[in-house]
C-alpha cells in the first residue's frame, strides 16, 4: 500500500475566479494484491461490480458473441477496471483472449504535491 499526496484544483468561492489547490492524501493499493484479486474474478468468468480496498471497481468477462462497433477487435475482451477518473485508475485487459497475458495500465492524473 502506497500513500501519495495529490493536488486538485478547487474553487474557493462560488461565482469568483479565485482558485487554489486542494491537497489530500490517497492510498494506492498494492498492484500485486489487485492482480491476485483479479485472477480470482477472471477464473470465475462472471461479471462483478463493487469496491476493492476502498476504490470502485468492476470486472467484465470476455464476450465473443459481439464485436465492438468501430473497432478492429473481433470480440469484447475481459476487463478489470478500478479507481476514480482524474485521480488514479488501474486497468487489466485480456485483449488477445482470456487465456493470453493481459495488458495493464496504471494512470495517475493528478499533480504531485511539492
State the DSSP string of 32-101.
Answer: HHHHHHHHHHHHHT--EEEEETTEEEEEE--BTT---TT-S-SSBPPEEEEEETTTEEEEEE-TT-TTSP
β-strand partners of 55:
52
pLDDT surpassing 60 at residue 112: no
Over range 9-30, report the average pLDDT. Answer: 73
pLDDT tens track for 77-92: 999 999 998 889 999 9
pTM of the model: 0.78
Residue ranges per structural domain of the chain:
29-112
Over range 63-81, report the average pLDDT. Answer: 90
Higher-scoring residue by pLDDT: 113, 74: 74
DSSP state of 15: T
Predicted local confidence at residue 7, as pLDDT: 72
Amino acid at each position: 500500500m502506497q500513500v501519495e499526496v495529490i493536488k486538485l484544483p478547487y474553487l474557493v468561492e462560488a461565482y469568483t475566479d479565485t482558485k487554489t489547490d486542494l491537497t489530500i492524501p490517497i492510498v494506492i493499493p498494492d498492484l500485486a494484491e489487485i492482480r491476485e484479486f483479479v485472477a480470482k474474478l477472471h477464473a470465475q468468468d462472471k461479471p462483478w461490480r463493487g469496491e476493492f480496498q476502498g476504490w470502485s471497481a468492476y470486472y467484465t468477462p470476455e464476450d465473443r458473441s459481439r464485436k465492438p462497433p468501430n473497432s478492429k477487435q473481433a470480440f469484447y475482451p475481459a476487463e478489470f477496471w478500478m479507481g476514480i477518473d482524474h485521480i488514479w485508475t488501474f486497468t487489466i485487459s485480456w485483449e488477445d483472449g482470456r487465456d493470453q497475458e493481459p495488458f495493464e495500465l496504471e494512470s495517475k492524473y493528478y499533480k504531485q504535491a511539492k
